Structure 1
Amino acid sequence: DSVRHNLLQRQLTMLLHAQTCRDREQSGQALTCHLRGCRTIRNVLTHMDTCQEGTNCQVTYCTSSTQILSHWKSCRRHRCPVCQPLR
Structure 2
Amino acid sequence: MPHANRVVFTTPGTVTLQPRTVDVDDLGPHEVVVRTHVSVISPGTELARLFGWTLADSGRPPSFPREDVGYANVGTVLAAGRELAVRPR
**TM-score w.r.t. length of structure 2:** 0.21
Bigger helix fraction: 1
**TM-score w.r.t. length of structure 1:** 0.22
